[in-house]
A and B are shown apart, each in its own frame.
Chain A
């Protein structure tokens, strides 16, 4: 029996060591991948799939003619070896042929996410479909919102008048000037970051955030009745759902008939 005991104890020891090492290892990975603000190249699959499939080869980085992409280095606080771009210093210039996407050997950058059908029905790359991020404006530091005639981001935007429009309003403070406030539209904005690069404030007042971070989400039951396309969001709603709260569980009539009303 002692042999069997020894074998068992050795196995337990091995498993224990593997667990200890594995936990330290997992901890390092978990820390490293919690980088929700990272901006991925065009056509990137959702972040979870991206982390699973990206092989850290840097082919997209090399394919980029503007050197906009970089592989995260240890110490950058981003998932090690994965590609990202920094709009303030080097935005995405939205090449028509999107060279970074076909360069990807693993499909982490997925052509189909940035392709649509041309007249003959064949798939063609279309950078305008990219959803790398979304421009967000800090109205408190944006000088256009303070009444200064700046339209740097608006002019820099490759989707001028679609992704960024300018709202002309009266400057109530002075009473005699116009405000020309930039407004971003999520339907057209690709998150390329040319606006962030162009912004004249010391620290950019318009900047790119990942869309999941920058955007809210309203429930399927709040529909803009004046927007036909918005009704599409309702198509998956099948059953009737009512939200029960302690107050709503009682019939309103009971409430009205209560003595203390």
Chain B
């Protein structure tokens, strides 16, 4: 069970979020209505995707009060929490990406289908491109092609041809680039990386306990954030860590754990 200590709760939050959205539309439940772009909790608290609002603003919209409040709530929440909790615990594409990864490892595809070499920084360029295109075209550009949107809207309102967007992500991750979409391309992931630098909930690493088995680096979808492993104790500072906790699950030495980086240990 320890092996799935975080994986099970992550799947629960991911699926529960989708299910509550689905039920909001299908059965009229008030718990969570809308979708991951914008939602209302219990019919009162607004939530909005801050990256979508940024694009909308670039497209020339005066952001309405409801949407702005919702975007600020999300922004503050994930900034305080730290890391890309959205990507690891909420976004449904994480499940697609994890499935592709699972197949890659099970069939040892890392060797036969060696990952293409794409830089992890591509996502930041795509953020810039999203904003520029939004300004030029007058629409929220990434929202138009987002496989995340295609997936959650597909589940809540019906897929149409949207399954293709999701399949593209799956195949890209499976055949072309390991963690290709979530770890390299996705501008929403990039956006949360940028704001995820400052939060308190981060992975802490204890060099004294570590036996340098490197299992954590092997399993990590953003292995560059664990650069300190085998070198010195410390916490993950990069916002690119998705706080999925898989490094904790695979560690047999209790050398990694969720920690508060503002506690004495890490200051």
Contacts and interface: CB of A to CB of B under 8 A. Distances in A.
Interface of A: 14, 18, 21-22, 25-26, 28-30, 32-33, 48-49, 51-53, 55-59, 61-62, 70-76, 79-81, 105-107
B66 interface: yes
B56 A25 contact: no
B125 A106 contact: no
Interface of B: 24-25, 28, 33-35, 37-40, 46, 48-49, 52-53, 56, 59-64, 66-67, 70, 125, 128-129, 132-133, 136-141, 143-145, 149-150, 153-154, 156-162, 164-165
10 contacts: A29-B139, A29-B141, A32-B144, A51-B59, A55-B67, A58-B157, A59-B34, A73-B158, A106-B61, A107-B67
Contact of B150 (A30, A59, A74): A74
B129 A52 contact: no
Contacts of B35: 56-58
Nearest to B139: A51
B157 A80 contact: no
Contacts of B132: 22
Contacts of B62: 107
B133 A53 contact: no
A74 B161 contact: yes
B153 A26 contact: no
Given A73-B162, A76-B160, A105-B64, A55 B139 contact: no
B125 A28 contact: no
Contact of A52 (B25, B39, B40, B60): B60
Contacts of B161: 73-75
Contacts of A28: 144-145
Given A74-B160, A80-B144, A106 B56 contact: yes
Nearest to B70: A105
A26 B24 contact: no
Contacts of B66: 105-106
A25 B132 CA distance: 12
A21 B133 CA distance: 11
A85 B25 CA distance: 16
A81 B153 contact: yes
Given A21-B129, A73-B159, A56 B61 contact: no
B182 to A, nearest CB: 18
A56 B143 contact: yes
A106 B137 contact: no
A248 B118 CA distance: 67
B46 A53 contact: no
A53 B53 CA distance: 9
Contact of A51 (B136, B138, B154, B158): B138
B39 to A, nearest CB: 7
Contacts of A55: 37-38, 48-49, 52-53, 56, 67, 140, 143
Contact of A29 (B129, B137, B165): B137
